Amino acid sequence: GHVLVTHGIYAFCRHPSYVGWFYWSIGTQVSHRFPDTYADIILMNPICCVGYAVMSWIFFRDRIYHEEITLLNFFGDEYLKYKQRVGTGLPFITGYRFQL
């Protein structure tokens, strides 16, 4: 069966792959310091960088929300206790909020 992993990197954030992808993807928007082509200049555009970061944040906020409903249904109280102890790893994203 499935086991809820709460050790290693999962002891620090509930969604480490999303954290990595989020920051890597934003990094791709600011990685060109010396533009050689017009495409490189577009990548350095701060408006595009902020827009991309916001859209990525919205994507992960929604993805984590729905994924955590599944995890709560599957693991129950075990996941709820884990969720209360460990953050998502992404700024201002709490995931699904269980209310009684």
Residue 16: phi, psi to the nearest 5? -60, -35
Q: Residue 27's pLDDT is what? A: 84
Each domain of the chain, given as residue ranges in start order, spans 12-85
Distance between CA atoms of residues 62 and 93, nearest Å? 9
Q: Does pTM top 0.85 for this prediction?
A: no
Q: Residue 81's pLDDT is what? A: 96
Distance between CA atoms of residues 89 and 19, nearest Å? 6
Crossing angle, helix 16-29 and helix 46-75, to 10 degrees? Answer: 170
Local confidence pLDDT in tens for the 100 residues of the chain: 899 999 999 999 999 999 999 999 888 877 666 666 666 655 567 788 889 899 999 999 999 999 999 999 999 999 999 999 999 999 999 999 877 6
